[in-house]
Structure 1
Amino acid sequence: MTKVIHVHLIFEKQDYYFGSISAVFDTISEAQIGIKKSTLLHAGLTDGGSTITKRAIIKQSHLRRSIRS
């Protein structure tokens, strides 16, 4: 399964989806998200887990795909 990082920016009311935490910070600044990259990397996001800041909700999940026969 493919890991997906979902970032919801609270004040901008926008949702973004990324394949890694590093990709998040290529698009969104630390000021916009309200957490530093190193802090988020060490937060220990797990499947279904989330981290909430004053500016964003960051969740990790897996992309589910159809099984082809």
Structure 2
Amino acid sequence: MGPVKVIHVHLLGKRRDLYFGSIAAIFTVLTPDEVGCGYDYLRRAGLSGGGTVMTKKACIKQSVLITSPRGGKEQA
């Protein structure tokens, strides 16, 4: 399995943070008005590779979820 992407949406006025597995998932919870842009805009905005999109209402970032290897133990 490859890296798992995570999209972090920080709603500026509400000081609320939400995390999603895809751009489409954002709009199952939030409206374009709440985010400050629509699905097509975010899809073309260059989130991949750690990009950030700022709107008047939100800061949207894509990153990779860091996990430990299967069967791995925590090291001190």
TM-score, normalised via structure 1 length = 0.94
- Bigger relative contact order, structure 1 or 2, given CA contacts below 8 A and separation 6+? 1
Aligned length: 69
Correspondences of 1:1-69 after superposition (within 5 Å)? 1-67=3-69, 68-69=71-72
Larger Rg: 2
Shift of 1:42: 1.0
Shift of 1:46: 1.7
Map Cα deviations across residues 12-46 of structure 1 (whole Å, 9 max, x no partner).
10000000000001100000000011111111212
CA distance in 1, matches of 2:68, 2:54: 31
CA distance in 1, matches of 2:16, 2:59: 11
1:32–1:55 contact (8 Å) kept in structure 2: yes
Structure 1 runs of 4+ with >3 Å offset: none
1:5–1:17 contact (8 Å) kept in structure 2: yes
Segments of structure 2 that go 5 or more residues without pairing to the other structure are none
Provide the secondary structure at the position in 2 that maps to 1:6: strand
CA RMSD, Structure 1 to Structure 2 (Å): 0.9
